[in-house]
Amino acid sequence: MLRKLTRWYASLLSWLLVASVAVLIIPVSLQIFSRYTALIPSYIWTEEMARFCFIWSIMLGAMVGIRESTHFVVDLWPPMNARAQAAVRIVASIFVLVFACVFIWWGIDFTRFALNRISELAELPLWTIHLPWPIAGATWVVFLGEQMWDDLRIAGKGMA
């Protein structure tokens, strides 16, 4: 049941990533066209809107990357058997979990700091640009927990 829920959540994140990139294209295109033509007025809010969408795209991509294990990996070890590879992945996941906890802890403070503030140009609530950090941290914890569970089962085989 939990795996089905995480699969659904990962699918939702993928769709949100596609949507955020699609929305990002609009203000960036307006900026480009307004720079080179007199047909479109120069909009000031497009820069902030592009920044908001860009940050959300990056963080959503990082969440999906952890789920699909497509984040970068540095191979330092020679080829190993499945149990040893699982053990190395567990150690690496622990380091990423520490990083995820930092994102959660400081991300909550970061978001609280922005609760009653608005952006200067577009007057968007600033908490919306700060919210991806704690969400990303919590998402990484869930996805890494699922991966670590699988790796623990692989690493534990033959030990009993």
pLDDT, tens digit, 9 for 90 and up, residues 16-30: 999 999 999 998 988
Average pLDDT over residues 40-68: 88
CA atoms 25, 63, 9, 84: torsion sign: positive
Q: Which residue has the tokens 């592009």?
A: 50
**In Å, what is the CA distance from 121 to each residue of 47, 75, 126?**
9, 45, 11
Using an 8 Å Cβ cutoff, are 132 and 59 in contact? Answer: yes
Q: What pLDDT is attached to residue 75?
A: 73
Residues whose CB is less than 8 angstroms from the CB of residue 93 and which lie 6 or more positions away in sequence, other chains included:
144, 147, 148, 151
Tokens matching residue 6:
């995480």
Q: What pLDDT is attached to residue 42?
A: 66
Using an 8 Å Cβ cutoff, are 22 and 60 in contact? Answer: no
CA–CA separation, 94 and 108 (whole Å) = 21
**pLDDT tier, 158 (very low <50, low <70, confident <90, very high otherwise):** low
- 27-31, 37-41, 43-47, 75-79 — which one is most confidently predicted on average? 27-31
Give per-residue pLDDT as tens, 60-108: 999 999 999 887 777 777 888 888 888 888 999 999 999 999 999 999 9
Three-class DSSP category at 32: helix
Kindly report which listed range (58-62, 71-75, 140-144, 156-160) carries the lowest average pLDDT score: 156-160
- The closest of 97, 132, 138 to 111, measured between CA atoms, is 132
pLDDT at 43 over 80: no
Give the chain's end-to-end CA distance (angstroms, integer).
27
Give per-residue pLDDT as tens, 105-129: 999 999 999 999 998 877 889 999 9
Tokens matching residue 35:
């720079």
pLDDT at 150 over 70: yes
The conformation of residue 125, written as its DSSP 8-state character, comes to B
